[in-house]
Chains A and B, each alone.
Chain A
C-alpha cells in the first residue's frame, strides 16, 4: 500500500478539485474538507513510512525509467510535502470562513486550491524532467487564477503579468529539457546525471536554460517584477498559498536539480553567482519591503527577500548549508502563511491595509497581531524560532566553508527584516489621538484567528523541532 501513496497524494486532491469544479456550487464545502483531512493524513503516513524505511519509489504504469516516469519520496520531497500539508490544512480551515458559502467565487477557490495541492505534491514527488515541466505548469495555472479571485477586475493586470512570466519561464525550462534529452536520451533526474556530467557546451547551455526558467518562475531578482502585485493583490488565503508554497516549489526544484541531474555540472563560479543573486534579492526585497505603504505589499516584498536565503546554499554546497536552505524554506513558508492570514484578518476588519491608517488595532485584533508578531520573529531570524535555526545553520555553513562574505549578507538581511517588521508593528500598535478604530467588517471569527495563530506558533515551535525534521531530510545528496 505504501508504494501507492505517492500516486494517491497526487490524485486524491487532483480528482477532488476536478469534481469540485463541476459539482457543488452553493452548499458547504464538504468535498474540500474531506479531501483536506484525507490528504493531510496520507502525507503523515508517507512521512512516517519514509522516516522508518527510507525513500519510497513508484513506477507509473509499471514502466521503469528511462521509458517511464518515476515518483520518488525522499527526504527533501517529504519535507516539502510536510510544509504543503501544514500550510494547506490551516489555509483550508481559514478559507471555511473567508471563502464560505456566500462568498462569490468560493467554489472556484476550492477547486483551484485542491488542484494546486495535487499539483504541488506531483511536483515534489516527480523524478522526471519533462513531468516536472508539466507539474510546474499545473502549479502555475492553479495559482494564477487564484489571484483573479480578488474580484471586480482589480487584479487583472497583475494576473496577466504573472501568467506571461510564468509561461515564458516554463518554456525556457523546456528548452533545457530538450537539450538534456538530446544529450542523455532520458528524462529521469538521476539517470541524466552521468551523461550530463561530461557533456561540454550543450550540457552547460541545458543547465543554464533549466536554471533561468526556474528563476523566472521563482521570482528571483531581477525576475521578481510580477510577484508583488500578484501576491499583494490576491485574497489573503490565496496569498498565503502563493507565497508559502508556489514560489517555494520553484526554489525547491533548483535545489533538486542542482544536487541530482546537474551535480556534475555545478561549478563553484556558478554557485557563487547564484549566491550573489540571492544576496541581491535579500537586500533589494528587504529595502523595498521597508518602503511599502500597504501591509500586504510589505509581506510580498519580504517573500522576494526571504527566497534569497535559500539561494545561499549554492555557493557553499555543504550539508549544513543544505539543511539551512531547506529548513529556511519550511520556516519561511509557515511564517509567511501566518503573516498573510493575519493581514487578511486586518483587511477583513478595517477594510483596507494602508499602513499609515492602521492604528490602535492591538485591542480588537489582539490575537491576529500577536500571531503577526510571532511569525515576524521567525522572519527576522530571532531565537527561538524556525527562522533562527535556518539562519544559524547557514551561518555555520559560511564559517565552515570560510566564505565569510555570506556572514555579512546574513547579518545585514536579518537587520533589514527586523526594520520592516518593526515598522509594521509600530503602525499597528500605535494609538493615535482618536481611540476608536474605523472598521468596516466584524471582528474576525475563530476560524480566521486560530489557523493564523496556529501557524505562527508552529513557526516558533520549529525552533525546537529541528532534530527530527533534519533527520527526515537527511544529508546533502
Chain B
C-alpha cells in the first residue's frame, strides 16, 4: 500500500498549523493556526479508524467529537478574550497590560 493521499492532508494541516502558530503571533491568527493543527490531528485519527477491517473504528471517532467540542469551546473563550483586549485598548489608548 502506498501513501494515503489523506495522510498527506493530515500531516500538511499539522505542519501548517505549527508554522502559523510561530509565524503569525497575533492571537486571532494563532487561534486559526491552532484549529488548523487540530484539524490535522483529527484527520489522522479518522485515518487510523479506517484501519480496522470490520468497518471504521468508532473509538477515534468519539475522540474527534470530544476533541472538536473542546477545541471550539476553548477557541470561543480565546475570541472573547481578544474582544476584551480590543476594548481595553480602546478605553485606555496607549497602554497595554504586560
Chain B minimum-CB-distance residue to A133: B67
Give min CB distance, A81 to chain B, whole Å: 24
Chain B residues within an 8 Å CB radius of A160: 27, 78, 81-82, 85
Chain B residues within an 8 Å CB radius of A177: 63
Knowing that A137-B70, A141-B73 touch, tell me 4 more A-B residue pairs with CB under 8 angstroms: A156-B97, A157-B96, A163-B74, A178-B44
Q: Annotate A157-173 by CB proximity to B: 1 below 8 A, 0 otherwise.
A: 11111011001100110
Q: Most chain-B CB neighbours within 10 Å: which of A153, A155, A171?
A: A171
**Known: A134-B66, A181-B59. Contact between A164 and B97, CB under 8 A?**
no
How many positions in chain A have a CB within 8 Å of any CB in the partner chain?
33
Chain B residues within an 8 Å CB radius of A178: 41, 44-45, 48, 60, 63
Q: Annotate B31-43 by CB proximity to A: 1 below 8 A, 0 otherwise.
A: 1001001101100
B88 touches A156 (CB 8 A): yes
Chain B residues within an 8 Å CB radius of A168: 21, 30, 34, 37
B75 touches A167 (CB 8 A): yes
**Known: A134-B70, A141-B74. Contact between A171 and B98, CB under 8 A?**
no
B60 touches A181 (CB 8 A): yes
**Interface residue SS majority, chain B:** helix
Chain A minimum-CB-distance residue to B14: A175
B78 touches A167 (CB 8 A): yes
Chain A minimum-CB-distance residue to B37: A171
A181 interface neighbour in B45, B66, B71, B98, Cβ under 8 Å: B45
**Known: A134-B70, A163-B78, A164-B30. Contact between A175 and B85, CB under 8 A?**
no
A164 touches B34 (CB 8 A): yes
Chosen A-B contacts, 5 in total, with CB atoms closer than 8 Å, are A160-B82, A167-B74, A168-B37, A174-B38, A233-B98
How many positions in chain B have a CB within 8 Å of any CB in the partner chain?
35
- In the complex, the 3 A-B pairs of residues with the closest C-beta atoms, listed nearest first: A182-B48, A153-B88, A160-B81
A158 touches B37 (CB 8 A): no
**Interface residue SS majority, chain A:** helix
B78 touches A164 (CB 8 A): yes
CA distance A158 to B81 in the complex (A): 10
Chain A residues within an 8 Å CB radius of B71: 167, 171
CA distance A17 to B33 in the complex (A): 32
CA distance A441 to B70 in the complex (A): 41
Binding site for A on B (CB under 8 A): 14, 21, 27, 30-31, 34, 37-38, 40-41, 44-45, 48, 51, 59-60, 63, 66-67, 70-71, 73-75, 77-78, 81-82, 84-85, 87-88, 96-98
Chain B residues within an 8 Å CB radius of A145: 77
A174 touches B27 (CB 8 A): no
CA distance A179 to B21 in the complex (A): 22
B81 touches A163 (CB 8 A): yes
**Known: A175-B14, A181-B48, A229-B98. Contact between A156 and B78, CB under 8 A?**
no
In A305-343, which residues have CB < 8 Å from any B CB?
A: none
Decide if A154 is an interface residue (CB 8 Å cutoff). Answer: yes
Chain B minimum-CB-distance residue to A172: B37
A157 interface neighbour in B14, B66, B73, B85, Cβ under 8 Å: B85
Q: Most chain-A CB neighbours within 10 Å: which of B27, B59, B75, B98?
A: B98
Chain A residues within an 8 Å CB radius of B88: 153, 156
CA distance A179 to B41 in the complex (A): 10
Give min CB distance, A172 to chain B, whole Å: 8
A156 touches B84 (CB 8 A): yes
Decide if A130 is an interface residue (CB 8 Å cutoff). Answer: yes
A141 touches B77 (CB 8 A): yes
Chain B residues within an 8 Å CB radius of A174: 38, 41, 67
Chain B minimum-CB-distance residue to A230: B98
Chain B residues within an 8 Å CB radius of A156: 81, 84-85, 88, 97
CA distance A157 to B30 in the complex (A): 14
Q: Annotate A129-140 by CB proximity to B: 1 below 8 A, 0 otherwise.
A: 010011001001
Chain B residues within an 8 Å CB radius of A179: 44
A171 touches B45 (CB 8 A): no
B34 touches A171 (CB 8 A): yes
In A115-147, which residues have CB < 8 Å from any B CB?
A: 130, 133-134, 137, 140-141, 144-145
